[in-house]
Structure 1
């Protein structure tokens, strides 16, 4: 089973840790002490994020590592010279938030995009928040171009359609997604609120999770010229 957990916003990068969604990632591996690797590429491998990941996931019983392209390796790093072998040994991979456009460029330059596809096809759980959620889809609505403007961006294409994150907390994302669909610049999309996550089994929505009242995900599509949203019911509310 190929699985991806796309998180609209939340987890250790946005909340007090550990959070329900961090524990969900651990539990989805069905292992007592899973190996989880953190890809902090979207934040330029910010040391504070890397340290917080190791603290959070270590505290909930995971064996942690990270892969960094912008920092010198340390004892917790996966070495760039051996990253394919080590990535394919993981139970789960978590991608943090930040700049989606720059992340994809780095991954493609190093060939990590192909290794991540291998990992997905071999049953390793892929997951991520914000940029780390959008990257798996055909396209996303992103502010990675800076300047306060949201634009469509081509993703890895593991999952069909588009993706928007932080949906309920940022009206500009909704406006941009609707305009992009009306212009046929982005395919039918999943839009995920903060404190909500969508689990894909193979390439279909399997379950929706939330851990804050009112948080959910939406299927966003267009009929002729009218964009419409269909709220997806959370199959499981995570304990806060």
Structure 2
């Protein structure tokens, strides 16, 4: 079964203590010591993010690696000159936060978009937070254009519809998503709070998770000039 876990915000990149969502990623692989690869492309392969991933997922008993396009390969990394075989041997691939637009451009230049689709079709768990959540959808609502506003961005299209992240923590995101829905600038979307995540089985929502009080996710769509938000009841991690 194909699975994608879209995280609105949280996990090792945002939380100072071990997060339930990182344990969830490990457990969704159904492996005792899963192989998990980190893609930090949205942050330009920021060393602090890479180091934090290895620390936290190593402590969870995972066999960790990362694939970096902006940094010299080291003993923990997959070499980008021949990454396909190694990436397709993973149990999970996790994409970090940062600039979605820039990450997509790099992946397409390196033909990683096609390999990620292969991985998904082979049943490798795909997961990610913020930019790493939006990237799997047809479209994301992002500030990646650095213009001070949120704009729609075409993404990989593995999952139907759009995605908005950090939804409850930034009122501007909600306002912009509603305006984009009324203008039909983005397709019907899933909006995910910080400390919440949505699990897709194939291309359908399977389960919703939260690990902070009040965190959740919504389906957001337009009905004429009205925007409809439908709450998705989460399971507590």
Query: Which interval holds the TM-score relative to the shorter structure?
Result: over 0.9
| 1:10-49 aligned within 5 A | 10-49=10-49
Structure 1 contact 95–128 (Cα < 8 Å) conserved: yes
Return 5+ residue gaps in structure 1 as ranges. none
1:16-72: per-residue Cα shift (whole Å, max 9, x none)?
A: 232100000000000110000000000000000000000000001000000000000
1:119 is paired with a residue whose SS is: helix
- Measured in 1, the distance between the counterparts of 2:26 and 2:55 equals 14
1:41-190 alignment runs, 5 A limit? 41-190=41-190
**2: distance between equivalents of 1:115 and 1:52?**
25
Gaps of 5+ in 2: none
For normalisation by structure 1, the TM-score amounts to 0.98
Q: Residue 5 of structure 1 corresponds to which residue in structure 2? A: 5
Q: Report the equivalent of 1:237.
A: 236
Asked whether the 8 Å contact 1:17–1:56 carries over to 2, the reply is: no
Superposed CA deviations along residues 60-106 of structure 1, whole A, max 9, x for unmatched, are 10000000000000000100122100110000000000000000000
After superposition, give the CA deviation of every residue in 1:99-140 in whole Å (9 maximum; x if it has no partner).
000000000010000000000000000000000000000001
1:216-235 pair list within 5 angstroms: 216-234=216-234
Task: Report the counterpart of residue 215 of structure 2 in structure 1.
Answer: 215
Post-superposition Cα deviations, 1:145-170, rounded to whole Å, max 9, x if no partner, equal 01321000000000000000000000
CA contact (8 A) 1:33 1:62 kept: yes
2-structure distance, mates of 1:147, 1:188: 24
Distance in 2 (alpha carbons) for counterparts of 1:16 and 1:3: 27
Measure, in 1, the Cα distance between the counterparts of 2:31 and 2:138. 30
Q: 1-side partners of 2:196 and 2:25: how far apart?
A: 13
2:191 aligned residue:
191
TM-score, normalised via structure 2 length: 0.99
Report the Cα offset of residue 228 of structure 1: 1.0
Deviations along 1:207-231, one digit per CA (max 9) or x if unpaired, are 0000001100000011011001001
CA distance in 2: counterparts of 1:51 and 1:151, whole angstroms: 31
